[in-house]
Amino acid sequence: MADIAGMLDELQQKIRKNPMWKERFLESRKTEDPLSEFCKLCREFGYEIYEMDMVNAGEDFYAAMRRSTNGGGENSPKLAWEDDFYELFFVGLEKE
């Protein structure tokens, strides 16, 4: 599996330098199926990212974080948003 976080970081850096790309990604959030449209744009710009890649990457990242906190047991704190790479991508993009 590709490093989704790395690809998203790289893509985000490129988008920051290209206002037209940024606008297209922001507009993708208004579509009927925003995640699919987002992934379609990623592929258009050369990043082979699919919907399940995003979901799996978030779940894998979240599971690793839980395992590293208090032994990963049931008493591990519930983390919010750390598993949603899609939302985190846009938070970073909208900061600018």
Output the tens digit of pLDDT for each of the chain's 96 residues: 458 889 999 999 999 899 999 999 999 999 999 999 999 999 999 999 999 888 876 555 555 555 555 555 555 555 554 557 788 888 878 776
Amino acid at 52: M
Biggest CA-to-CA distance, the chain: 45
Return d(Cα 7, Cα 16) in angstroms, integer.
14
* DSSP states along 29-80: TTSSSHHHHHHHHHHHTT----HHHHHHHHHHHHHHHHHHSGGGSTTSPPPS
Amino acid at 58: G
Q: What is the pTM of this model?
A: 0.72
With H, G, I as helix, E, B as strand and everything else as coil, classify residue 4. Answer: helix
